[in-house]
Structures are given as C-alpha cells and as structure tokens.
Amino acid sequence: MSDAVRFPDPNTEIETIPLEIDRLRRSFENGRTRPLEWRREQLKRLIRMHEIHADEFVGALQADFGKPTFEAFTSDVSQGKLEAKSALKNLKKWTRPERVGGLPVMGRARVIREPLGVVLIISPWNYPVGLLLSPLAGAIAAGNAVVLKPSEVTPHVSAVLAKRLPEYMDPEAITLVEGGVEETTVLLEQRFDHIFYTGNGQVAQVVMEAAAKNLTPVTLELGGKSPCIVHEDADIETAARRIAWGKFVNAGQTCIAPDYVLVHESREEALVTALGKAVRDFYGDNPKNTADYARIVNRRHHERLATLMKDGTPAFGGEVDDDQCYVAPTVLRDADDESSLMRDEIFGPILPVRKVRNIDEAVQFVNSREKPLALYLFTKDGKVEDDVLSRTSSGGACVNGTLFHIMDSRLPFGGVGSSGTGAYHGRHTFETFSHRKSVLTRGTRFDPKIMYPPYGEKLTKFVKRFM
C-alpha cells in the first residue's frame, strides 16, 4: 500500500474508503448539499483557498515538473477559482426551474436541475490543480457530495491539495483520496452517481467498465492526436507563433496541444523556419536555461519521448537531458505515417511536420485516425474553414489559433469518440453534474370524462384528426 495521505483523517486506511463514501452518501441523503446557501458557502471557501494558497500550489507545480510560474498560475492554479467565481455569480440563474412553453391545457411544464448524488472526480498530472478543482466547482454548484482523486504522478501538488482542501471545504460532503492504482481501484468498486475522469484512454476503459456495473454515467475527458492544418494561404508568421506556443507550453504536456502539423507543400520550408524563429524568440538559444520552459513530468515519460524522437529528422531541437528530464522544443520532419510518432499521442515538446498536396489530403489524413480532441486550421479563406469543419470531426476546433477555444467558458469543452464523452466548463460543468428532471403539474378543474375509457368512436375520430 502507498503511504498516501487521506482527508479528513491522515491516518485513514484504504479499507475505510467504502465507509468514507457511505458517510458522504448519508450527508447527501440528509439534504446537506442541496441548499443554495451551502453551495454558495463552499464556492466562496474554494475561492478563498485559491487566493490564500496560490503560491503554494505554484511552488508544488515547480517541484513536480518545473512548471514556469506564469504558466502554473494562468493555465492551472487559477482555473478552479475562475470556475468557482462564475458558478457563484450564476448560481441563481442556473438553478432556476426552466419554464417550458406548450399547451396550457396539459399543465405547467418545467425542467428542474437536481443534484446527482455522490460524484467521483479523478484527475491527471499535467494540470493537476485546475483539472481537479474546476470540475469540483461545478459539482458543488449542482449540489453534490464529492470525492476527489488527484494524480499520484504529481505528489507535491497532491500533498498540498490533501492539506489545504480540508481546511476550507465541508468534510461531511467533500473528501479527497490520495493514491494511485490501488486506491482508485477500491474507489471504482464503490457506487457513485457520476464519475468524471480526466486522463488517458486505457484507464478510461477501466473506469467505464467499473461504472457499467452500477450503470453509473461517466464523463471522460481524454486525449489523442490533435492535428494542425496549415493551408497555403495562411499567415505563416502568425501561424508559427501560435502553433509553437500551443505546442511548447507546459513542454507539450497538454491534452489539446497540436500533436502534428499538416502543411501545404509550398509553405513547409517557410513554416519550419518561422517555427524555429518563434521558439528562439520565446525561449532564447538554449531553452534549457529559461525559467519559462517546463520539464517532462517523470523518467518514464522522458524516456518515451527520447524514443519517439528517433522516428523523425530534427529540423531543430532534438536535445534531451536525462538528468533534468529535459526535452528541447523540437520540430521533426520525414516521420513515417505508421511510426509511433505519427500513431500515438506525443504528449511532449516534439512536433512532426508533414507535407500535404492539398486540403483533401489533409482531411483524408485526419479522418484516417481516431477523432481528435482538438483540430487547428490556419487559413484566411472562410470557404476552406467551412469545408474542413464540415468534413472532419473533433472535440473542438480553433481557426487561426491554438488552445484559445478552451479559455472561453461559454463553449463546452470535451472530446468525441476516442477523445472523450461529455463536456464541461462554465454552465456546462453545472449541467454535467445535474439531472434535468422534467416536471408537469396538472390542473384539477378541467378533467373531461371523454378522455377515459370507454373511449367510443367519436373520440377516436376526433383524435385521428390531430395525430
């Protein structure tokens, strides 16, 4: 057994996980989490925890994988706070029964959002604060009791979460279980009312299988190979800067990072040159020396990337430093379409660039693979934009940019097919953790006997005119 700390009692043993879930279920069934006042209070506390301990989280992210301060704060530590603020501001609106128009004779029709119950949130290591606490904000707003399972791959962050959350959140309804496969396996044996999992596809199968036993609904936020298509009319300088930024932020360890580039053959040389310039502008001549470039999370992933590097010819980059788990921002050419580099999610700072003759070839290439989490297209032509969007399927898409679509919380964020099931962010997170209950309240004054058996021919004839 791992020496994981569990909240609320650090000495809790793995065997007590089922009791812990039972305790939460009792809280939920007693109605503890339903009042809007409870939800508001928890959201406020979550915001306060972010405000007071932001630097501690940033420090933990640096200890775990050298995440640059700016990136740690903007792309990870602030995310849960922004979601909690938005939920707090909109709670009344989101929870208001939704009136539905229709025939008044039927009665008063409305949709009520009700909490699901006890929900489990399992998160990964690449944005280990935000990917745990953003869904938490929506789950609280929807009135659920919540079990949180952070990633063991980033132990410093996990320890800060285990220490700080119980100081702020209601321990009768929100609990955190640290640990790895062993703890998650025990958790998945319990009955939940929803499981929200972010991570890789193989573990998603384990999660889905466990959920199926209790018919528990799941949200699966997964990954895949997100393509970048650069059309011949693209503004190459801007495209290169935006692709390089989206790829090398967090050293490529981003679920929606551009995985590979399909560029029109006439612009390949210019694009690769511009990518090289963008990387020098961002990180200087030796990115190892800048504080603005992260490290690979652990040796296993570092070695995986060092091996993938061999699948292509470096146009620039290519250096690895095993001691520091450093992989340089790298652009590769000449990778075989069937190589691991072009088949598996790269999840690191290696960008293969492949020439295509035209948009049709790019679309065909994308469609010959699993549906990606994001698709990026660089073009000035609205017709090309419509054409590519209508002929490909991806979780989301961003035209003339990378990653930015995830920052707009009006947009649901999620995958399709093997890149995920369900979506969240902003109101969509609240909806994910709510059941939409349809309710019809009928009047009692109007109750014609003709509607009841025996029906008679007259009624049948009358009804046939409308149906």
Q: Rounded to whole angstroms, how far apart are CA atoms 283 and 293?
A: 7
Q: How many residues does the chain have?
A: 467
Of 379 and 419, nearer to ligand NAD (C-beta) is 419
Q: Rounded to whole angstroms, how far apart are CA atoms 178 and 148?
A: 8
CB of 173 to ligand NAD, least distance (A): 21
* Torsion sign over Cα 423, 428, 433, 436: negative
Complete DSSP assignment for 261-303: EEEEGGGHHHHHHHHHHHHHHHH-S-GGG-TTS---SSHHHHH
Q: Rounded to whole angstroms, how far apart are CA atoms 18 and 12?
A: 11
- State which amino acid sits at residue 73: F
Q: Is 398 a catalytic residue?
A: no
CB of 114 to ligand NAD, least distance (A): 26
Of 126 and 432, nearer to ligand NAD (C-beta) is 126
Extract the tokens encoding 350.
């290696």
CB of 105 to ligand NAD, least distance (A): 46
CB of 131 to ligand NAD, least distance (A): 6
Of 181 and 439, nearer to ligand NAD (C-beta) is 181
Name beta bridge partners: 441: 108
Of 236 and 397, nearer to ligand NAD (C-beta) is 397
Of 159 and 203, nearer to ligand NAD (C-beta) is 203
Return the SS3 of 173: coil
Of 225 and 231, nearer to ligand NAD (C-beta) is 225
CB of 373 to ligand NAD, least distance (A): 6
* Torsion sign over Cα 343, 346, 350, 356: positive
CB of 149 to ligand NAD, least distance (A): 5
Q: Which residue has the tokens 């560029």?
A: 263
Q: How far is CA 20 from CA 33, 174, 212, in A?
A: 16, 10, 22
Q: Which residues of this chain interact with ligand NAD, rule CB under 6 A?
A: 122-126, 131, 149, 151-153, 180-181, 184-185, 198-200, 203, 206, 221-223, 255, 345, 347, 373, 415, 420
Q: Which residue has the tokens 């981003």?
A: 254
Angle in degrees, 0-180, between the axes of helices 36-65 and 79-95, rounded to the nearest 10: 160
CB 289 within 8 A of CB 330: no
- State which amino acid sits at residue 237: E
CB of 281 to ligand NAD, least distance (A): 27
CB of 406 to ligand NAD, least distance (A): 8
CB 179 within 8 A of CB 2: yes
* Torsion sign over Cα 423, 428, 431, 436: negative
Measured between its terminal Cα atoms, the distance across the chain in Å is 64
Of 208 and 389, nearer to ligand NAD (C-beta) is 208
Strand runs (DSSP E) across 69-184, as ranges?
Answer: 98-99, 108-115, 118-122, 145-149, 174-177
Q: Is 255 a catalytic residue?
A: yes
Residue nearest to ligand NAD as judged by C-beta position: 223
CB of 184 to ligand NAD, least distance (A): 3
CB 354 within 8 A of CB 259: no
Extract the tokens encoding 48.
């306060």
Name beta bridge partners: 357: none
Q: Rounded to whole angstroms, how far apart are CA atoms 299 and 326?
A: 10
Of 178 and 193, nearer to ligand NAD (C-beta) is 178
Task: Please pick, among 255, 268, 325, 431, the residue that the annotation labels catalytic.
Answer: 255
Task: Please pick, among 20, 71, 178, 221, the residue that the annotation labels catalytic.
Answer: 221
List b or e across 9-31, with b for residues whose CB sees 16 or more CB atoms inside 10 angstroms: eeebebeebeebbebbbebbeee
Query: For the chain, how many helices (H) and strands (E)?
Result: 16, 19
Q: Which residues are catalytic?
A: 221, 255
